[in-house]
Chains A and B, each alone.
Chain A
Amino acid sequence: MVNTGFTTIYWRDMIRYVRFKTLLISSLVQPALWMAFFGIAMSASFDRLTTTVPTIPGVPAVGYLTFMGAGVIAMTTLFTSLFGGITILFDKNWGLMREIMASPVPREHIIFGIALSGMTKSFIQAVIIMVFGLFLGAQFFNGYTIPETFIAILGILLFVGTFSLGFLFLSAAISVSLESPEGLQGIITLLTMPIFFASNALYPIDAFPEVLQIISRINPLTYLVIGIRYFAVGDDFQSIGVHYTATSGDILVSYAALVIFALIMFSVAWWRFKKAVVT
């Protein structure tokens, strides 16, 4: 019989997600607030500054809100995924993990179950940001036909999903190795800073010093943002004076980078889970 243990883990985690109303609502409202406050404030400043930058003729220009919208989707996915493994830590501390560890469910199913529910949450948030972004005036899917929009959304979700899996695996690996939620909190804070700011989420990386550029090029978040911008904005546009182009080859490379990242993170998680003793 095919073991479907991961669907059981997934089912339980989703029950908890919808049951904790404050958690649910804050996770849905938080990305919208980023768009509303940070997005509007920053785009007002950037758009005023970029009026002084000469535009490249013949290339469609998009406002900063559109540019950073992709970054907000990426950032939200990053945060949600890094915290996604915390269930494991709570389960361990409350003794609930023992029931699972003593059951015939293979350990990789625990990782998959938690990762799938984290991915679902990221999908929901990504869609909310897109809808709310459009409402605020972001030019997502500008000039797309309905089938094109549909494909673009699928493409975004594919990138978001793969990226979130990578960080959920990492989060699961850290959680199963740690003793306290405070420890996870600390590690996440340490990780999010460089990952978020040494990336192309909020600004172009071309102007970075060389070291930061290198970091941003090995940063999975950069590849996620490249993918989201490609699908949401297009393969040839300019924003804040920088010309962005992307071929389907570039997109494949970016996606491959995310897949490799997710695979590495899965092996780390798998190794940590094999070693984990929960009593």
Chain B
Amino acid sequence: MNDTIIEVQGLEHRYGNFTAVDGISFSVKKGEIFSFLGPNGAGKSTAINVLTTLLRLQKGSARIAGFDLATSPGKIRESIGIVFQEVTLDRDMTCWEILEFHGRLYGMPRDERRARIDELLSLVQLETKKDALTKHLSGGMKRRLEIARGLMTRPKVLFLDEPTIGLDPQTRMRMWEYIKQVNREGTTIFLTTHYMDEADLLSDRISIIDHGKIIITGRSWELKNMLGEDLIYLETSDNDAAKDILRDMAGISEIRTKSRGLILVVNEDGTRLLPSIMEHLRTRGVTVTTVNLKKPSMDDVFVHFTGKELRDEGPEKPSVAASRSRRGRK
């Protein structure tokens, strides 16, 4: 109990009669990086908005940093830092002013505030931009400044809502380094993302969330192991026949049909199983035209548990209407 910093039970949030968050329960341990991985409109932002007190708690309970969300939202506010999904920097304030403003909002004493600002500007390598207006910063710099702002008050938990959305690949990797460094220094991190690689590389544990529900929670390798050891992709002259032939073969735990081929989920070393699969198909008159073997990725995990591909839809505009129509399409 003592090493749990976020404890959520049956959290539910509705907009009118649309249920954005549908009874989720999870816990985050102190010092962890915990991710919500899910498509846009899955309810990630709504959940984060409720946990950070921006939306009123409707149903369920949550304890964050030892405080109850229903009875002490003010205490929770003092204990957390937030980096929002969209850039929320005043274009016409300098980096220093952004941090000074934030420190003052949280009632930090002047000396502590000033020392912290210098410390954070050097952490995110923005010392030279101290007096630059934020409108003159690059996208990556803005994000770093926002992370610095989220850390200003030395929060116990830092909430990051889609921290690398809209950043180029190199900047994203640097952001991950910053996030890891912040975590190593003792801050628990709760992040939401719709990027597989981000959840995979960054988090200690991941909850896959879809349609407002947590589908599964676990460490990245645990989730992948649930899929078996390896994945084999085959394209053959007759996929249906191949499927029938391989259905009862030892070592294959699942066969999934793709548009042009098959994915075999195997529960033993695929490199050793593959020759006998090929042989098996050849003797039954099915020609293999393409073969590929890989370890399960987060994408495969996601497809396996949600039954659909996670499309990268670019910047999300979290609106009730959009989530509704997404929901309606299902």
Hey, which bits of chain A sit against chain B, CB under 8 A? 1, 3-5, 7-8, 11-12, 15-16, 19-20, 94-96, 98-105, 277-279
Contact = CB atoms under 8 A, between A and B. Distances in A.
Interface string B96-116: 010001101111000000000
18 contacts: A4-B104, A11-B101, A12-B90, A12-B97, A15-B93, A16-B90, A16-B92, A19-B92, A96-B88, A98-B88, A99-B105, A102-B77, A102-B82, A103-B105, A104-B105, A104-B107, A277-B54, A277-B55
B86 interface: yes
B106 A103 contact: yes
Contacts of A279: 45, 49, 54-55, 318
A5 B90 contact: no
Interface string B12-54: 0000000000000000000000000000000001000100111
B54 A99 contact: no
Nearest to B54: A279
Contacts of B104: 4-5, 7-8, 11
Interface of B: 45, 49, 52-56, 74, 77-78, 82, 84, 86-93, 97, 101-102, 104-107, 149, 318
B20 to A, nearest CB: 11
B105 A100 contact: yes
Given A15-B93, A100-B105, 10 more contacts: A5-B107, A7-B104, A12-B90, A16-B92, A102-B53, A102-B54, A103-B102, A103-B105, A103-B106, A279-B54
Ordered nearest first, which 5 A-B pairs have the shortest CB separation?
A8-B104, A95-B88, A103-B105, A104-B77, A279-B49
A105 B102 CA distance: 11
Contacts of A8: 101, 104-105
A27 B325 CA distance: 46
Contacts, number: 71
Given A94-B88, A95-B84, A95-B88, A101 B54 contact: yes
Contacts of B101: 8, 11-12
A19 B52 CA distance: 32
A163 to B, nearest CB: 29
A106 to B, nearest CB: 9
B73 to A, nearest CB: 9
Contacts of B53: 102
> Which of A7, A16, A20, A99 has the most chain B CB atoms closer than 10 A to its own CB?
A99
Q: Which of B78, B91, B107 has the most CB of A within 10 A?
A: B107
Q: Which of A19, A96, A101, A104 has the most CB of B within 10 A?
A: A104
Contacts of A15: 93, 97
Nearest to A9: B105
A5 B106 CA distance: 8
B107 A3 contact: yes
B190 to A, nearest CB: 14
A104 to B, nearest CB: 5
Given A95-B84, A96-B88, A102 B106 contact: no
Contacts of A103: 77, 102, 105-106
